[in-house]
Structure formats: C-alpha cells, structure tokens
Amino acid sequence: MNTHQRPKIFIVDDNPINIQVLSNVLIKHDFEVMVAKDGEKAIQQLQRIQPDLVLLDVMMPGLMGLKPVAVCKQMTSRKVFPSFL
C-alpha cells in the first residue's frame, strides 16, 4: 500500500490559460491540483480543503488584492498559511 500523499496546490485565478498551464506543470510533478476561478469560490472551497500551498491571482473580479489571503488565514488552523501571489 502506498502511503505517499501528494502535496495539494490550490490555484485561484480567473484566467483559464493560467489555470491550464499551472495545472499541467504541477500535475506532471505529482502535485494534487485544486482550482477556484474567483475569490468567493476559493473561500467556499477552503472550508472543505486544506492545501499545502495557494497560488493566488490578486487581480480578480470580486475579492481583489490581499483580502482573500486574510480570509484564508482566518479559516485555517495553521499558524503559517503558505501562499504565492
């Protein structure tokens, strides 16, 4: 039995090309990829998942800037919330 758990990367971006390129590269490197296309959906998904890293586009309609990061930090029990903007 394989107990290897793939690291989870959560992509939050409204650009389908960015999502596709990032997903393809990450999957090839054995990451589990999850996607949200806007900040509100990202927040909803973060109630159910706990990614190892969030790749966040800060220039999206709806929740812009660093507000999604602040909300994400509040929703997790982790002291450090790894994100790349």
Q: Give the integer Cα–Cα distance in Å for 5 and 18.
A: 25
Q: Is residue 2 part of a domain?
A: no
User: Taking the C-alpha atoms of 37, 41, 82 and 13 in order, what is their torsion angle to the nearest 10 degrees?
Assistant: 10
Residue 56 confidence class, pLDDT cut points 50, 70, 90: confident
Residue 46 confidence class, pLDDT cut points 50, 70, 90: confident
Q: What is the pLDDT of residue 67?
A: 67
Q: What is the pLDDT of residue 1?
A: 46
Q: Is residue 15 part of a domain?
A: yes
pTM confidence score: 0.78
- The range of the structural domain enclosing residue 25 comes to 8-84
- Domain count within the chain: 1
**Mean pLDDT on 15-20:** 96
